Structure 1
Amino acid sequence: MSLLPEQRAFTTLHTVTLATQMLGRTGIASERLLEGSGIRPDELDNPARLICHAQELQVLANALNCTRDPALGLLLGQRMHVSAYGMLGYTLLASPTLGDALQLAIDHPALLGSYFQLALQHEDDEVRLVASGYRYAPELTVFNTELCLASLLTVIQDLLGEAARPRRLLLNYRPPLYAASYSEKLGCPVEFGAGCNALCFNPSLLKRALPLADPVSFQHGLQQCLQQEAQFHNRQDLRELIRQQLASDISQCTSLERVAARLHRSARTLRRHLQQLNTSFQHLLDEVRYDKARQLLLHTDLPIYLIAEQLGYSETASFRHAFLRWSGLTPSNFRR
């Protein structure tokens, strides 16, 4: 039986530890928060302990059930300072500019531990830090969206050393009952029912030099991040690693060579290992394309040609033929 996405990916204990500490101050016992997760209280201070996303999600669900504050995701995100990300966090601090730091975080999703695919998108006169592709516990969608965007804003403020505010916050869901908490806690206008989840900033902010930038520390930290990421990768199935790379930027990962470069391995080695696993790069590419195509067709109003473009097809007809082969339906008929 294949594992669910949340059972395949590994992360550190940073978020779990922060949640138990924060709610512990309100009198909620760590044992109650860790119930059903397989995590022991005495493990919370162990930096080498890795957990899967399913374990972390269980703790977050417990936390939400234990508190009466519906804005817990925002509160927790505001406490996710850059130091909570270990070596990645310190390397972000030493980055030359804010844009360099954010791209570094985006390029190392395993160390960031996010449930979303992050990207910087330039739209007219603003830059958007977009969080998309959530496919975990649906009942925690809003909570995890709040946690993700609030924590990213906290990291940005830590990196700049000032309380920078976004121009606006875009959210692709309806306003919850506590909607007023968003602008109050994040200090910016909020637009619900938008086409994406994103923090929007002035593009010039990406060029801002960071006050703690240090080229030697940055290069040393980058090497440490690569080593730590390799440890994460060794715990995961090679097929899933390739799927993650494809899902994070499928339009730029349509060749084995590009994916191999991102995983710091040779294309020849990846091809040999995939053969040993009785699969191929093309098979994995088709799987991810089919999964993403279904999501875009069912949950967005994007025209077919834009979906084909996002999936890395140069011609819409090629996407139509592939989707018909995968599902037995054309994209248009599937959407109906």
Structure 2
Amino acid sequence: MATSLLPEERALTTLHTIALAVTNLDHGGTDRERLLEGSGVACADLDTPDKLISHAQELRVFANALAATRDPALGLSLGLRMHVSAYGILGYTMLASRTLRDALVLALGHSALLGTYFKLSLEVEGPEARLVAAGYRYAPELTVFNSELCLTSLLTVLQDLLGSLIRPTRVCLSYRPPLHAASYEQMLGCPVEFGASSNALCFDAALLERGLPLADPVTCHYGLQQCLKLDAQLNSRHDVLDQIRQHLAGNLRESCDLDSVARQLHRSERTLRRHLQRLNTSFQRLLDEVRYDKARQLLVQTDLPIYLIAEQLGYSETASFRHAFQRWSGQSPSLYRR
């Protein structure tokens, strides 16, 4: 019951990323069965490119990989092996795009096909372009791993698209230096800034207008049609659920009720309630999902006392938050924080 509240249980992705990770680690001597343990993914599934899995299943494989290898820099090394072909039809369509900018705009417009846990955006300021990765709200204990995997895989994709080993101008990371911080500059070949306002891969903006060596308009057009179909499959549930979650996430400390959310979304409360019923959910369930997401982040990533976390989540009494968190996770907030 509790796991269905997690964002990683609600989102679907393809098998490409874990198939690549398992193959690479298997070649290094790590047993495939151990990597897939508890994920619900079988070895035979890795050869089925059309199969979809939840982000929770993917995260379990990542956690298994970290435990099995005991390599703190695993996210960096796996990301550097995540070639553009690992993204299936999206990757091949990017390769066939006219310019690097076109390829990146295509990818950012179909972020579900990238399987990323971040909201990606492209920013240009003067001579520098930045691929920014923000909004991570999944397993807090895998924040560093997923940030490393995201940014280094983006670097690999840039190099694959351009057909040359470009170097970033810098990499920005929003967390404090981990114990393996010295590995970053060595593996990325550029300055690394920890404690930044956001995660970002920065590179020469002039590269955006460079033509891609494998550009082909016919292939690109065909690939785009396939991307649209797969994107629709991954995002089959109506986006109104995300709209409600986004509103709640920004207003947890205030009185959250369906009527105020309906007004914000320019819908009637009755219409919104009917819509939620058709999707087999409820307003209270969405509110619990958002509160649980936020609670996990605050418990793991901050030292805030429990009563302040309860206040930020909109609880007037700390005991009510403790009871709710026990119901969601099966353990107390204090035990989860350990």
Q: TM-score, normalised by structure 2?
A: 0.73
The share of aligned pairs that are identical, in percent, is: 60
C-alpha displacement at 1:328, in angstroms?
Answer: 9.5
- CA deviation vs aligned residue, 1:80-137 (integer Å, no higher than 9, x gap): 1000000000000011111111111111111110000000122343121100000001
**Mean Cα deviation higher: 70-79 or 225-234:** 225-234
Q: Which residue matches 1:51?
A: 53
The code of the aligned residue for 1:166 comes to P
- Paired with 2:28 and 2:232, the residues of 1 have a C-alpha distance of 38
CA contact 1:233–1:241 (8 Å) conserved in 2: no
Output the aligned Cα RMSD.
3.3
Relative to structure 1, the CA distance from residue 50 to residue 203 in structure 2 (aligned partners, 3 Å threshold; closer, same or farther) is same
Q: Which residue matches 1:11?
A: 13
1:229 to 218, 226, 231: 231
Relative to structure 1, the CA distance from residue 100 to residue 136 in structure 2 (aligned partners, 3 Å threshold; closer, same or farther) is same
CA contact 1:239–1:274 (8 Å) conserved in 2: no
Secondary structure (helix, strand or coil) at the match of 2:102 reads helix
- CA deviation vs aligned residue, 1:242-283 (integer Å, no higher than 9, x gap): 569999xxxxxxxx9xx9xxxxxxxx9xx989843259xxx9
- Say whether 1:276 aligns with 2:275: yes
- Paired with 1:49 and 1:245, the residues of 2 have a C-alpha distance of 29
Identify unmatched segments of 5+ residues in structure 1: 248-255, 260-267, 301-325, 330-336
CA contact 2:30–2:68 (8 Å) conserved in 1: yes
- Paired with 1:98 and 1:20, the residues of 2 have a C-alpha distance of 29
- Paired with 1:232 and 1:244, the residues of 2 have a C-alpha distance of 18
Q: Which residue matches 2:110?
A: 108
- Paired with 2:128 and 2:184, the residues of 1 have a C-alpha distance of 20
Q: Which residue matches 2:198?
A: 196
Q: Which residue matches 1:160?
A: 162
Relative to structure 1, the CA distance from residue 44 to residue 144 in structure 2 (aligned partners, 3 Å threshold; closer, same or farther) is same
Between 1 and 2, higher relative CO (CA 8 Å, sep ≥ 6) is seen in 2
Secondary structure (helix, strand or coil) at the match of 2:132 reads strand
Q: Which residue matches 2:212?
A: 210
Relative to structure 1, the CA distance from residue 227 to residue 27 in structure 2 (aligned partners, 3 Å threshold; closer, same or farther) is same
- Paired with 2:244 and 2:93, the residues of 1 have a C-alpha distance of 26
- CA deviation vs aligned residue, 1:287-328 (integer Å, no higher than 9, x gap): 8xx98xx89xx999xxxxxxxxxxxxxxxxxxxxxxxxx959
The aligned runs of 1:91-170 (5 Å cut-off) are 91-170=93-172
Relative to structure 1, the CA distance from residue 272 to residue 215 in structure 2 (aligned partners, 3 Å threshold; closer, same or farther) is farther
Secondary structure (helix, strand or coil) at the match of 1:212 reads coil
CA contact 1:93–1:159 (8 Å) conserved in 2: yes
- Paired with 2:51 and 2:246, the residues of 1 have a C-alpha distance of 24
C-alpha displacement at 1:26, in angstroms?
Answer: 2.2
- Say whether 1:33 aligns with 2:35: yes
The code of the aligned residue for 1:277 comes to L
- CA deviation vs aligned residue, 1:162-203 (integer Å, no higher than 9, x gap): 001110001111112221211111111111111111011122
Secondary structure (helix, strand or coil) at the match of 1:128 reads strand
Q: Which residue matches 1:77?
A: 79
Identify unmatched segments of 5+ residues in structure 2: 249-261, 303-312, 317-338
- Paired with 1:112 and 1:246, the residues of 2 have a C-alpha distance of 25
C-alpha displacement at 1:205, in angstroms?
Answer: 1.3
- Paired with 1:201 and 1:224, the residues of 2 have a C-alpha distance of 30
Q: Which residue matches 2:70?
A: 68
**Mean Cα deviation higher: 6-15 or 19-28:** 19-28
Relative to structure 1, the CA distance from residue 162 to residue 243 in structure 2 (aligned partners, 3 Å threshold; closer, same or farther) is farther
Secondary structure (helix, strand or coil) at the match of 2:221 reads helix
The code of the aligned residue for 2:185 comes to S
- Paired with 1:237 and 1:4, the residues of 2 have a C-alpha distance of 18
The code of the aligned residue for 2:80 comes to Q
C-alpha displacement at 1:233, in angstroms?
Answer: 2.2
- Paired with 1:328 and 1:272, the residues of 2 have a C-alpha distance of 27
Q: Which residue matches 1:23?
A: 25
Relative to structure 1, the CA distance from residue 208 to residue 246 in structure 2 (aligned partners, 3 Å threshold; closer, same or farther) is farther
The aligned runs of 1:245-264 (5 Å cut-off) are none
Count, aligned residues: 276
- Paired with 1:36 and 1:3, the residues of 2 have a C-alpha distance of 19
CA contact 1:11–1:53 (8 Å) conserved in 2: yes
The code of the aligned residue for 1:204 comes to A
